[in-house]
Chains A and B, each alone.
Chain A
Amino acid sequence: MEPLRILGICCNWSPFACYNAAGMTGMSMPANFHLIRVMCIGRINQALILRAFEFGADGVILLECTDEDCRYGPGPEVGHENVHRVRRILHLLGIRQERLVERTFGAHEKEKLVQTLWNFTKEMEKLGPLMAKNGRKREAVKS
């Protein structure tokens, strides 16, 4: 069985500080976990999350700051809304909603972050690989 692919999207601030600190102290992360970093989770629109599933992610986890901690303001709110809406679309597509998850962190919680990643990986393994995968080919890219 092919190993599962987990995609994480984190913002530059509290979650990345945790990830950074975890990396510096040599904590081990799941091997098939890939992280993308953006300025703020507010930057992520629904299209991108769906793209992830389209191209083979078995699980997507959004790592955000807590509500009061977003230094720009909108991040967690946009994150909640997008996750909520995309989950409903996943349901329509026949994909388990639990494959899309969001979690919040403070800047000092590196143990919690690493634990969360391992837990999520375990849960995805329980669900198994995404059955609704397509051929992972793209059509002509519009510039």
Chain B
Amino acid sequence: MHRSSSTSNLKKAVLLVGSGYGALKVAQDLSQSGLPLVWVTKAIHFLEHPGGAAPFTDYPEDLDFQFRPLYLQVTRHPLVTALTHARIEAIKRGPDGYRAVITQDPVYVDYDLCTGCGRCMDVCPLQDSSHPPLRRTPAYCPSRALDLDKRKPAPCRISCPLGVNVQAYVALTAASRFDEALDVIRQDNPLPGICGRVCHHPCEDACLRSSLDQAVAICSIKRFLADREMAERRPRLPGTQKPGRPERVAIVGGGPAGLTAAYFLNREGFSVTIFEAHREAGGILRMGINAFRLPRAVLNAEIQAIEDAGVEIRTGAPVRSIRDLIDQGFHAVLLCTGAHRDLRLNIPGEDAKGVYGALEMLKKLNTGGKPNIRGNVVVIGGGNSAIDAARSAVRLGAESVTICYRRKRSDMPAHGSEIRRAQEEGVKIEYLAAPVRIVSRRGRVTGLDMIRMKQGAVDESGRRRPEPVKGSEFFRPADTVIIGIGQQPSLSETGLGKELITGQSGTINVDVRLSASQAGVFAAGDAVTGPDTVVGSMSQGRRAAARAVEYLTGTSPAWGALPDESRGAGEHLEIFEDTPRKFRPEMSRRQATARSRDFKEVELGLTAEQTVAEASRCLHCSSCCECRVCETVCNDIGAINHFKPRELMTVSSPAVIVAGDEEIAHLDLADKERVYRVGDFRSATDLVNVLIAGSASAGQAMADCSSLRTNSVPCQPVTIASEEEVRFGVFTCTCNGTLATPAALERIRDMALRTPGVMHSELIFSACHPRGADQIAAAVREHRLGRVILASCVCCPLEFQCISCNDQRNRARIHLFERHGLDRCRFETINIRDHLGSPDLSEEMLVERMRNFLREAFIRARVMGPLRQSTTKIGNRILILGGSEVGLSCALNLNMQGFKVRLVHRCSLKGDQKVPAEVRKRPVSRIAEDSITHVEEALIEGIKGHLGDFTVTVREDGVRKNFHADIVCLADMNVLPLAIPEGMFGLKKFYRYNFKFFHSPQIGVYRVMPRTLKRVTAFQAGAALAAHVATTAAEAFLKDHELSPKVDRKRCRGCGRCVEICPFDAVKLVANERGFYTAEVLRYNCVGCGGCVGRCPVTAMDMPYFTNRLLEEIVVGALARKL
């Protein structure tokens, strides 16, 4: 809703907290009396009843609907700042009142722009889930705008080192939207097929579903998405997304870190070249991970995709010097050379024949060689490389393979599933055994001297340090020994070590920004950290690329930062207790005997049905998954902003009104001065009580806040002279393309243009959007259009709101008539949204209906006349008759607000013998003696005149006097009969939702009924009355109603039926000079209902805009159309 333009500016306004009917009444009273107001509620809309109380049962279900016009008027009032999703953070009392800091949680859909077309809901993947994130506010709210429920980011997303939006792609997969899901992954991760097989999936470890049954199989879902695409075509990565840049970047090393860095730099527009020393790129992915875990086809395809996106990969091109690269013209260098040298055990006999490092052996195998593996194989180590080496040994024909690990099974760093697969293939594992010496004969290994280990104290990795058990040595025979205890970088081999500072284990020293010791040189991946996970290295590669972009351009790229927990507000969705427990499927895999004979892939992947079912297990922790598909259909409107921040506002207010106690429970505001409570909604028995309590609080606050009051008399609207030749323009709103098919809309536009008199016909994407209104205004001026037909959801161009009115319709009118200043009388509006919205209309029927609407609109547009409006000035003189407690309270309040008050303490009426006893016995308390005019006792003879100009004739001490006032209040029971003017034909029926508790049949005369005093205290009643008086008087002017009827004197025969029916006392019979009576309409009392017109038997009355002639034309035109 309305926002402050700057978060640090102080806003001086009355502060109102809470929602519901009471709050609405307070807001109405305050704003209409000219006080600026900041209205805060934590709810999504303002009719959410505090405490969740249900509306009153005395009234039918449409009670909330009946409040809609008021809600609309108040929330769009220029003095009201209405904040939903907001709360008071802190509040302090100072010398000039309360200072409150207000936080508004991010509102992702802009209330001022959303048209309510609903296209976002149509494309949201979670729309059919149990908790759809996009919802419309209830029908009785005046806006069709949507609300987006987005909580803090899901743990899966936060735990991914690349920040992949896991929840989004899982949600899209559950909706079978596989291509879109893959696009989401590729925003952050260019290697989904690879990661879907080898990633250690920290996302699954963080998945909250595991507290119910098991984590969602996110890694396998990713694999399915990549495989599915690969089955149909080559993987496609997004290429350069920015304009090409001249700088060239060199990346040394084509492994995970290097490939990822290259992908992001290429996207940013740089020319990227990867220098790969081996014959094929891939790094550890090719060398260290076997084909039965990561098939070469998948690896090659994804590397190819990076090349296809625009990256140059030069294989067989080792880099010996960074200096050379810079001389060749590269502006930045990224070193991603990885860690490829096996660590040594450093025990005697390690150099014998038949002893290999694990990575050394795997490299030979994966570059087309055949390692010499035979006989009994012993593998030392417990990581993934050791397991890979063991499983490869099985496939290469070893007789037996045994892994010796010096700690326990639970300490092994390898994936649990890898260990199980190895054991299925016949690999044996011995725990708590370590080698002491390698025994060889004639230079060839024959076995190892081993020693048993036991668990000692905990070391820095969190595991218990193994200690040798004395005397437990034993010999293990072996024909081949593979040592897989880890790797380290080996820069000295490449010669790069000379140019850089390296650390102890050969890793490159980098600073926090991943810069190496030379400017423009960055490093990432295993070369920096030592052996790390695949996705960890990819993440570092990406970060180094971001640093390189900063170095080259001076600005940080958008993908440089990962989403963090502080974004978004609200707790994760709860797990409902009736969600059934459902477990993960086990992925199908090849049998152990078959698979241990070759290097084909062992795990076979999930099927489509399994994948969709698995994705449906996701709990949608953050509700909206931020897949951002909704933004793509809201391009023109621009109402969705997923990155909207919290808003802060500081308000300084003399008083605070509380309409919902729960909203201030965390603050210490109870029983403080100038804090007015509307009351306990839950125990309120009657709606009217709540509303009067609301007015009472407003009245009390007004007395404190009158210094903030603004008022202004509106300028007279300028009437445009009608043009000689009427030039028509027709504008059809498409409501963001949802109204009808593009073909139908174009036919409608062309049909309008063919009509004689139409100079211009145009389709507008949204009439209630500021840009749409700008388009219309520009076209009106450019083509000098004298009459405009607007086909949209707007029903009429008039200024007031009816029950059907909503915020979108109102906005169109505000933009066109108030902001642009176009003339209302020039506009004819047709509501096509309701008439054409029916889904079973064929295109032919739709166009035909539109033809008829246009024809009727042209008739009306030709017949329309000017809308007349003038204003009556009101001063600030208030006369209060009756010095009861109510009267005193009201007088004091109005006085504090700055009105000129005259108070008559003891009144009697004509016909009373004397002042009634209870009135006479009352003491006269001369409160505020210097500003209130006190009259002790008077006999009231009569009230004449109208609002703004009352003359009250009294007798004071026998002397006849006239008191002049703008407003009269009857505060004593005995003067109530004055409220009924002379000649009135009995009391009229009042609309039950008007809630005009203090109004009398005469506008400008207010009275307090006895039953009101049963609802609230006398003091409160006085304050509420003062609030009502203020809303009328503070405005200082009264507008005539645009639609007040006019009487044709020649036809009127003075029967008085019109006078009889008017509940507002706006029609009077007036005698002319010959003594004949005719009717006359009092424009300032009239509300434009036309009840008098309908009753006139000789059609002597007519109303502007809805003239008799117009209605006739409409009827005739409607019935004349061809069906």
Contacts and interface: CB of A to CB of B under 8 A. Distances in A.
Contact of A39 (B66, B139, B1090, B1092): B1090
B991 A70 contact: yes
B1119 A74 contact: no
A48 B837 contact: no
Interface string B52-65: 00000000111001
A26 B839 contact: yes
B1118 interface: yes
Interface string B799-816: 000111000000000000
Contact of A73 (B988, B1094, B1109, B1111): B988
A19 B833 CA distance: 11
A63 interface: no
Contact of B795 (A5, A37, A73): A37
Interface in B1089-1123: 1089-1097, 1099, 1103, 1106, 1108-1109, 1111-1112, 1114-1116, 1118-1120, 1123
Nearest to B1111: A48
Interface residues of A, number: 62
Nearest to B65: A107
A5 B1119 contact: yes
* Residue of B61, B804, B1094 with highest tally of chain A CB at under 10 A: B1094
Contact of A51 (B803, B834, B1090, B1116): B1116
A23 B1089 contact: no
A109 B831 CA distance: 20
A120 interface: no
B1087 interface: yes
A117 interface: no
A74 B1061 contact: yes
A81 to B, nearest CB: 8
Nearest to B845: A31
A45 B834 contact: no
B989 interface: yes
B988 A108 contact: no
B992 A43 contact: no
Interface in A97-125: 106-109
A107 B66 contact: yes
Contacts of A28: 838, 840
B1119 A40 contact: no
A134 interface: no
Contacts of A106: 60-62
B1063 A74 contact: yes
B994 interface: yes
B993 interface: yes
B687 to A, nearest CB: 14
* Residue of A12, A27, A70, A138 with highest tally of chain B CB at under 10 A: A12
A26 B1090 contact: no
Interface in B634-681: none
Contacts of A107: 62, 65-66, 803
B835 interface: yes
A51 B1115 CA distance: 8
A18 to B, nearest CB: 9
A90 interface: no
A69 B1063 contact: no
A74 B1086 CA distance: 13
Interface in A1-54: 2-3, 5, 7, 12-14, 16-17, 19-24, 26-29, 31-32, 34, 36-48, 51-52
Contacts of A40: 1089-1091, 1094
Nearest to B1118: A34
Contacts of B1092: 42, 74
Given A28-B840, A38-B1090, A71-B993, A19 B62 contact: no
Interface in B1057-1094: 1061-1064, 1087-1094
B993 A36 contact: no
A16 B62 contact: no
A11 B483 CA distance: 90
B1106 A43 contact: yes
B795 A74 contact: no
Interface string A67-110: 11111111101110110000000000000000000000011110
Contacts of A27: 838
Given A14-B803, A43-B1094, A48-B1112, A19 B834 contact: yes
Contacts of B834: 19-20, 22-24
B1123 to A, nearest CB: 5
B1041 to A, nearest CB: 10
* Residue of A7, A42, A57, A75 with highest tally of chain B CB at under 10 A: A42
A143 B839 CA distance: 42
Nearest to A78: B1094
Contacts of B65: 17, 107-108
A45 B1094 contact: yes
B985 interface: no
Question: Per DSSP, are chain B's interface residues mostly helix, strand or loop, or mixed?
Answer: loop
Nearest to B849: A31
Contact of B803 (A13, A32, A42, A77): A13
Contacts of B994: 71
A3 B833 contact: no
A16 B60 CA distance: 18
Given A24-B834, A26-B838, A108-B60, A52 B1119 contact: yes
Contacts of A7: 1115, 1118-1119
A38 B795 contact: no
Contacts of A45: 1093-1097, 1099, 1108
B583 interface: no
Contacts of A2: 1123
Interface in B812-847: 831, 833-835, 837-840, 845
A37 B1093 CA distance: 16
A68 B1089 CA distance: 15
A115 to B, nearest CB: 16
A54 to B, nearest CB: 9
A79 B1120 CA distance: 25
A48 B1115 contact: yes
A39 B1089 contact: yes
A126 interface: no
A68 B990 CA distance: 8
Contacts of B1043: 39
B995 to A, nearest CB: 11
B62 A42 contact: no
Nearest to A22: B834
Contact of B1123 (A32, A38, A48, A52): A32
B1099 A47 contact: yes
A27 B838 CA distance: 6
Nearest to A17: B803
Nearest to B988: A73
B994 to A, nearest CB: 7
B1123 A5 contact: yes
Contact of A72 (B61, B1089, B1123): B1089
Nearest to B1093: A43
Given A68-B992, A75-B1089, A82 B1094 contact: yes
Contacts of B989: 67-68, 73
A141 B834 CA distance: 33
Contacts of A82: 1094
Contacts of A69: 66, 991-993
A17 B993 CA distance: 16
A42 B139 CA distance: 28
B125 to A, nearest CB: 24
A89 to B, nearest CB: 12
B1116 A55 contact: yes
Top 3 closest A-B pairs, CB basis? A23-B834, A43-B1090, A42-B1091
Given A43-B1091, A43-B1093, 11 more contacts: A17-B65, A42-B1095, A45-B1093, A47-B1108, A56-B1119, A57-B1115, A71-B993, A73-B1091, A74-B1091, A79-B1094, A82-B1094
13 contacts: A16-B803, A17-B804, A23-B837, A24-B833, A42-B1089, A44-B1111, A47-B1108, A55-B1119, A72-B1064, A74-B1062, A74-B1091, A75-B1091, A107-B62
